[in-house]
A and B are shown apart, each in its own frame.
Chain A
Amino acid sequence: MAASLASAAKLLVVLGVFALGAFLQSRGVLPGILRHWSDVVYLARQHIELVAISGSIAALIGVPLGIVLTRGVVRPYADAITQIVNLGTTIPTLAILALAMSVLGIGSPPAIFGLVVLTLLPIVLNTIAGLRMVPAHLIEAARGMGMTGTQILLTVELPNALFVILAGLRTALAINVGTVPLAFLIGGGGLGELIFTGIDLMEPTMLLAGAIPTAVLAIVIDFLVGQCQFWLIPRGVNPLR
């Protein structure tokens, strides 16, 4: 029963997309969107740059930070810090961008700063969670074998935590890609320009010219990271394989 439901659903989706396409064509929407094509390409490049820069910075800070927070030295404070970081994730994205702007003005710097903060939090939380989830007996076995703390970290803890850490990166990137459109509001550029201008000018074609590539970009990036998660992580520690 589930199988036929699924194929029915697929059929419906395909028909729906066709109908939508035909409808849009008849309303002259598609040519309207294509008119903005050069803008789309330019802004998309900016968009991807923002994602790449803020994402790399966040990962480079977040993963080591997460590792540090699980080390014995910090353990007494780790829970308190994790609570604070958790609290940070509840702060709405627009608020963070707004606060970045009030401190750093407009342009790319506040945009990148805000994006880094937003992307950082899930990465740190997942790094901590992933490391905590490594079975204690593996670490004990490693210590018993005579490995140093660093060796244990590199050869036992990280490989086992990698799946969860990558999952965190994936979530973080999704949040990142989702927030970049808002970067336009504080002068950071990106496809958000087409979307917001489209709303202000009440021009649906401009809106869609911004919204569709944004959505597609988000889905593609998520898919790519998902594939990384599947292929890059060795079979032994990869629940998906």
Chain B
Amino acid sequence: METVQFIIANLPLIWQRTVEHVLLVGAAVSIAIATGVFIGILITQSKALADRVLYVAAVIMTIPSIALFGLLIPILSLIGQGIGYLPALIALILYSQLPIIRNTYTAIMNVDPALREAARGMGMTIVQRLWTVELPIALPVIVNGVRNAVVLNIAIAAIATYIGAGGLGTFISRGISQTDVRQLITGALAVSILAILADLALLGLQRRLTSPGLRD
């Protein structure tokens, strides 16, 4: 098929765009993990705070991605970064917050209170308890949240091509504007395969990081 020939002929370009895409998502998720897990742990200290933070993150999620880009662009153009990498990065980080914060919070809250009491009674400090008991138990659920965030980000990063962030979405946007089915399918396939692979890879990671004592 023509599409197959197109793909073979353009492998270097596909690779380049894939790398752009992966770097964008990778950077966003890394930052999002740092902020999200931290906030998630922080809000376990207060239910009121937790409710508010989760609500805000949920509201951000309901905003369509392109609308969020649309809102960020004018603001960022003030510092001359309106188009391209930065608004995409910020939007991706914001979208990743809910899955990561919510999963971190829920996972830690779900740790059996008896374990917290046993740890406290034995003389562990809060940090020791988090590090050796609560986080290892919460880890699989947190990684699940990261996984959701990554898949979501890969999808949104495809849309970010419209604000100049590059990536695999470019094939799709060109395919639409040039009515070129080959590019359309190439783009759609590439992004889909990337998403599926990332999902499976992180699922594998999730399993590896689950202590054997916690697996069922």
- Contacting residues, chain B, for A9 (C-beta < 8 A): 52
Whether A177 and B62, one on each chain, are in contact in the complex, defined by CB atoms closer than 8 angstroms, is: yes
* Docked complex Cα distance between A3 and B192 (Å): 44
* Docked complex Cα distance between A145 and B66 (Å): 53
* Docked complex Cα distance between A180 and B63 (Å): 12
Interface residues of A (CB under 8 A from B): 1-3, 5-6, 9, 29, 87, 89-96, 98-99, 101-102, 174, 177-182, 185-186, 192, 195-196, 198-199, 204, 207-208, 210-212, 214-215, 218-219, 222
- What class of interface size applies to chain B in its complex with A? 35 or more
Q: How many Å from the CB of B63 to the closest CB on chain A?
A: 5
Find B158's partner among A29, A92, A211 (CB 8 Å cutoff).
A92
- Contacting residues, chain A, for B65 (C-beta < 8 A): 178
Find B71's partner among A1, A29, A215 (CB 8 Å cutoff).
A215
Whether B66 and A192, one on each chain, are in contact in the complex, defined by CB atoms closer than 8 angstroms, is: yes
Whether B52 and A208, one on each chain, are in contact in the complex, defined by CB atoms closer than 8 angstroms, is: no
* Docked complex Cα distance between A101 and B185 (Å): 10
- From DSSP, what is the main secondary structure of chain B's interface residues? helix
Whether A214 and B64, one on each chain, are in contact in the complex, defined by CB atoms closer than 8 angstroms, is: yes
Q: How many Å from the CB of A194 to the closest CB on chain B?
A: 9
Interface residues of B (CB under 8 A from A): 46, 48-49, 52, 59, 61-71, 73-74, 77, 83, 151, 154-156, 158-159, 162-163, 169, 172-173, 175-176, 181, 184-185, 187-189, 191-192, 195-196, 199
Whether A2 and B49, one on each chain, are in contact in the complex, defined by CB atoms closer than 8 angstroms, is: yes
Q: How many Å from the CB of B195 to the closest CB on chain A?
A: 5
* Docked complex Cα distance between A205 and B192 (Å): 34
- Contacting residues, chain B, for A93 (C-beta < 8 A): 155, 158-159
- Contacting residues, chain B, for A95 (C-beta < 8 A): 155, 158, 172, 187-189, 191-192
| Contacts beyond the supplied A92-B156, A102-B185: 8 A-B pairs with Cβ under 8 Å | A6-B49, A91-B195, A95-B172, A98-B184, A102-B181, A195-B66, A195-B70, A211-B68
